[in-house]
């Protein structure tokens, strides 16, 4: 929905099924399956280490200890706690972009390969801002069709060079740096508010964790979605051009409703996924810490 025009979510589902049947809904699944465990592990590891590093720096320089406040039941969020976890989230987001960008580009290529290879590919290359983007050749578009993840990655390198795997990197970096900062700020702050409001004498509870986890995904997508749309459009256009072709980066327009195509799907998915993710993460962390204390 971000990269091609559909009348609605239902229209997108109908045309995808009509064109590709059920396999169309699973195109590009290999890349995220292969990368998600590593990316999540690195992201959470960098975040956990960074927030204590930043907290220690703030304690030495300003006399405030954000992590002590977060880890003590009965406290509401403060400027120092929000700033600390936001900085840690931005650090984690910028770090994982180096790993995630090639996988996400490969996934996007697989997902839109059939659309790119369609007979109307040239006329359909219009981004949400209304700017026409014509493909240099339908042959390039067709060459991506029906390839596996590894074959797609090799084809991108062949067509655009090794740097082609990092097409749209600056937009990806901006999205993940801001998005991950907002993501963790929302999670930690909402969890603190729910725990304190409910009078829980712990730093975690199933309700607070699931609620904060679901909300952090929704809020982060709501605030950075036009950046993600611009990234997806730019990467799609890059896949339709040879190495060396000059590409115009789409404008990030927060006031343009067309840049929000597909946001409902992304927010719904994110709410469910992150509620489950943080519930499992906090459960395992609690039990690992209990084992270490024995």
Angle among Cα 253, 92, 88 to the nearest 5 degrees reads: 95
- The answer to which of 14-18, 105-109, 193-197, 241-245 has the lowest mean pLDDT is 241-245
* DSSP type of residue 145: T
Say which residue, 20 or 268, is predicted with more confidence: 268
pLDDT at residue 69 above 90?
Answer: yes
Banded model confidence at residue 117, pLDDT cuts 50, 70, 90: low
The tens digit of pLDDT for each residue in 148-170 reads 677 878 888 888 888 889 999 99
Domains of the chain: 9-293 (1.50.40)
Quote the pLDDT of residue 123: 36
Quote the pLDDT of residue 183: 97
CB atoms within 10 A of CB 158: 11
Average pLDDT for 49-63: 97
Say which residue, 202 or 84, is predicted with more confidence: 84
- The answer to which of 96-110, 140-154, 187-201 has the lowest mean pLDDT is 140-154
- The dihedrals phi and psi of 11, each to the nearest 5 degrees, come to -65, -40
pLDDT at residue 218 above 60?
Answer: yes
Banded model confidence at residue 202, pLDDT cuts 50, 70, 90: confident
- The answer to which of 23-37, 42-56, 175-189 has the lowest mean pLDDT is 23-37
Average pLDDT for 81-110: 92
Torsion, Cα 215 217 221 222, to 10 degrees, reads 0
Tokens at residue 161, please? 């060079």
Quote the pLDDT of residue 19: 83
Say which residue, 276 or 9, is predicted with more confidence: 276
pLDDT at residue 244 above 80?
Answer: no
Report how far residue 155's alpha carbon sits from residue 280's, in angstroms, rounded to the nearest whole number.
Answer: 37
Beta bridge partners of 132: 126
CB atoms within 10 A of CB 131: 12
Average pLDDT for 215-239: 92
Say which residue, 14 or 147, is predicted with more confidence: 14
């Amino acid at each position: 929905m971000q990269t091609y025009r559909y009348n609605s979510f239902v229209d997108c589902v109908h045309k995808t099924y009509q064109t590709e049947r059920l396999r169309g809904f699973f195109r590009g699944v290999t890349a995220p399956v292969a990368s998600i465990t590593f990316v999540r592990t690195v992201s959470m590891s960098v975040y956990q280490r960074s927030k204590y590093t930043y907290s220690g720096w703030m304690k030495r320089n300003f006399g405030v200890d954000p992590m002590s406040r977060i880890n003590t039941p009965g406290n509401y969020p403060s400027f120092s706690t929000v700033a600390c976890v936001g900085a840690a989230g931005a650090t984690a987001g910028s770090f994982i972009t180096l790993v995630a960008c090639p996988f996400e580009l490969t996934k996007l290529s697989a997902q839109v390969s059939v659309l790119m290879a369609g007979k109307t590919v040239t006329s359909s290359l219009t981004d949400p801002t209304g700017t026409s983007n014509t493909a240099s050749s339908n042959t390039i578009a067709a060459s991506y069709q029906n390839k596996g993840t590894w074959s797609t990655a090799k084809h991108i390198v062949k067509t655009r060079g090794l740097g082609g795997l990092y097409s749209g990197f600056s937009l990806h970096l901006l999205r993940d740096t801001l998005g991950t900062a907002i993501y963790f700020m929302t999670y930690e702050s909402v969890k603190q508010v729910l725990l304190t409001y409910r009078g829980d004498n712990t730093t975690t509870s199933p309700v607070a964790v699931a609620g904060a986890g679901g909300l952090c995904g929704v809020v982060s997508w709501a605030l950075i979605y036009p950046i993600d749309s611009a990234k997806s459009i730019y990467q799609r256009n890059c896949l339709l051009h040879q190495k060396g072709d000059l590409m115009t980066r789409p404008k990030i327009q927060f006031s343009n409703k067309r840049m929000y195509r597909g946001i409902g799907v992304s927010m719904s998915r994110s709410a469910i996924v992150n509620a489950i993710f943080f519930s499992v993460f906090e459960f395992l962390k609690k039990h690992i810490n209990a084992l270490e204390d024995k």
